Amino acid sequence: MKFLVAAVVAALVLFIMFVAGGGLGPHQPSEAEQKASAEAQRVYDGIMADYAKRNVEHEIDTITMRDGEDVVRLWYRCTHGDPPKNAAHQRECKAIVDRIRREDAADEARDAKEKADW
């Protein structure tokens, strides 16, 4: 009998909490939750921007060491600037980007082979 009364009271408390809490409808975040979410998004965006910047710097360093400064300048203009409008420059950009991609793939394959042989 005590168990039945306790179960009914617990069910009643849960029902009141459910109704008072808005039921299963969409949750309306409070102002504090919205501010916290905006701050978290700002921090995340900053981290991702920093990561992208470091990734580009790493690519620049790698291409400079492997191919030289002239090649890295052209590659950077082709990949991070306005695309060339001149057809000859477009072909030159495509050629340099393709060449660098092939070299990167060859480097990755060599690294994987060295790691497997280790």
Give the number of other CB atoms < 10 A from CB of residue 90. Answer: 13
Query: What is the pLDDT, as a whole number, of residue 1?
Result: 66
Query: What is the pLDDT, as a whole number, of residue 82?
Result: 83
Average pLDDT score over residue span 38-65: 93
1 inside domain:
no
Q: What is the pLDDT of residues 77-88, one digit of tens each?
A: 998 888 888 999
Give the number of other CB atoms < 10 A from CB of residue 63. Answer: 21
Query: What is the pLDDT, as a whole number, of residue 40?
Result: 92
94 inside domain:
yes
Query: What is the pLDDT, as a whole number, of residue 31?
Result: 87
117 inside domain:
no
Residue range(s) defining the domain that contains residue 46: 38-107
93 inside domain:
yes
| Overall domain count for the chain | 1
Average pLDDT score over residue span 14-28: 66
Q: What is the largest CA-CA distance in the chain?
A: 90
Q: Which amino acid appears at position 92 of this protein? A: E
Q: Is 98 a residue whose pLDDT tops 90?
A: yes
10 inside domain:
no
22 inside domain:
no
Give the number of other CB atoms < 10 A from CB of residue 112. Answer: 10
Is the separation of the CB atoms in 57 and 76 below 8 Å?
no
pTM for the whole structure: 0.58
Given pLDDT bands bounded at 50, 70 and 90, which one contains residue 39? very high
31 inside domain:
no
**Average pLDDT score over the chain:** 86
Q: Is 60 a residue whose pLDDT tops 90?
A: yes
17 inside domain:
no
